[in-house]
Structure 1
Amino acid sequence: MDTTAVRIGGLCGVAAALIMIPAYMVGTPDRPTSTTEAEEYYSSYSGFVTANGVVPLLHVLFFLFFLGILVSVLRRADRESTGLATTALAGGIVFVTLTAVGFAAEVAYPATLLRFDDLPYDEQIAPLLLTTSSWLYHYCQVGTAVMILATSVLVLRTGVLPRWTAAGAALGVLALLHTWIPLVAALGGLLWIAVIGLLLAVRGASDQVERSAVSPRLDR
């Protein structure tokens, strides 16, 4: 594989994780528990749309580049003997798709009020969209778990990344607890993306990857 491409993909992973910091500083949609808190959650329409709508566009963009490179590295190491690289790809696609839809649902109402400044605040629509985005984020973490667990298994089988990274499977399990501990689970997934991205950026197309791709299979 092209080392430069792998390094760029890794840097995209790091960037995708870091870019989410402003969104989490604004808050998470599961936090409001009353219509008053929902209105306060959207207190700064312009700032909210920027932090939770515009900036996350870059998160989606950089994550897609990261996912493509990661899956290519995994597939080259596994040589499609298990299909786990494709499984990781499926998990990543579920994660980023539902995350993007969740962003859209969360930011739709304040963006509407910004666009149509004569509309009054609606205390029914805002909580509905916040709840919808919360559940989209719950479901997207199933994709995160699949991506992390499939990658961890391939790391143990092939050594495509340092074997200690297989311990990241714990973060995959944590992602499945997003319904109960949403912020912790989401941050765990972002931490995994950042760490794997950093390793790819530093290592590039490592010798281990190249050897596993060209060496003959022992089970034939």
Structure 2
Amino acid sequence: MDTTTVRIGGALGILSALVMIPAYVVGTPDRPIDTAEAERYYSSYSGFVTANGVIPILHVLFFLFFLGTLAGLLRRADGDRTGLAGTALAGGIVFATLTAAGFTAEVAYPATLMRFDELPFDDQIAPLLLTIASWFYHYCQVGTAVMIFATSLVVWRTDVLPRWTVVGAILGVVALLHTWFPLTAALSGLVWIGVIGLLLAIRGAPTGE
């Protein structure tokens, strides 16, 4: 992998983390605790669909390019000795897939109301979809944790990234707490993606690659 490719992948990792800011400004699907709050959560249909549906498409797109770059570096450094590069790749794919599913569940109802404007707000369907979205996000963080742990182990074995990044495994533990601390856990994964992306964008390919 050449330095330019690695730097582009790293820059896309940074962008992947940054474009999630509007979605978290709007809120998280676990926040409403009754039907009235669910209706207020969806108060601006077009703005909600843009922030939590359209813009996050870029999050998934940029992340997949970042993931491919990261997995390539890990595989080059670790070879086929442990399979950890493949494990990191699998974790990232689980994260991206379930995240996309969560976004879909979260925006499905307001997008429907925008498309069919004669429909009234349904105080049963909206909470159901918000709950489904929450559980997609809970499970997606398992993928985040696996990606972080596998990457940290390869770094420990090979120094493909600075050794201090192994401390990032703590963020993998935090990601697993998403069921109890949704926003904190989700942000921990984004911070890890952003930091690793920044390192790749600055350093490029490791010396001798």
Q: Same fold (TM over 0.5)?
A: yes
Counterparts of 2:36 and 2:80, CA distance in 1: 53
Deviation at 1:108, TM superposition (A): 0.2
Deviation at 1:49, TM superposition (A): 0.3
Who is 2:127 aligned against? 127
Who is 2:152 aligned against? 152
Who is 1:36 aligned against? 36
Who is 2:20 aligned against? 20
Who is 2:11 aligned against? 11
Residue identity in the other structure for 1:175: A
Who is 2:180 aligned against? 180
Residue correspondence of structure 1 range 1-220 to structure 2 within 5 A: 1-207=1-207, 210=209
Residue identity in the other structure for 1:179: T
Alpha-carbon displacement from aligned partner over 1:112-149 (angstroms, at most 9, x marks no partner) = 00000000100000000000000000000000000000
SS in 2 for 1:170: helix
Q: Which runs of 4+ in 1 moved over 3 A?
A: none
Structure of higher CA gyration radius = 1
Alignment RMSD (CA, Å): 0.6
Identity of aligned residues (%): 76
SS in 1 for 2:178: coil
Unmatched tracts of structure 1, length 5 or more: 211-220
SS in 2 for 1:207: coil
Counterparts of 1:160 and 1:80, CA distance in 2: 15
Counterparts of 1:49 and 1:23, CA distance in 2: 9
Counterparts of 2:122 and 2:80, CA distance in 1: 52
Counterparts of 2:148 and 2:136, CA distance in 1: 19
Counterparts of 2:197 and 2:81, CA distance in 1: 24
Counterparts of 1:35 and 1:80, CA distance in 2: 52
Deviation at 1:78, TM superposition (A): 0.3
Counterparts of 1:115 and 1:104, CA distance in 2: 15
Counterparts of 1:35 and 1:159, CA distance in 2: 51
Deviation at 1:80, TM superposition (A): 1.5
Counterparts of 2:113 and 2:57, CA distance in 1: 20
Alpha-carbon displacement from aligned partner over 1:61-84 (angstroms, at most 9, x marks no partner) = 000000000000000000111100
Unmatched tracts of structure 2, length 5 or more: none
Deviation at 1:2, TM superposition (A): 1.1
Counterparts of 1:80 and 1:58, CA distance in 2: 32
Deviation at 1:109, TM superposition (A): 0.2
SS in 2 for 1:178: coil
Alpha-carbon displacement from aligned partner over 1:82-105 (angstroms, at most 9, x marks no partner) = 100000000000000000000000
Counterparts of 1:143 and 1:188, CA distance in 2: 13
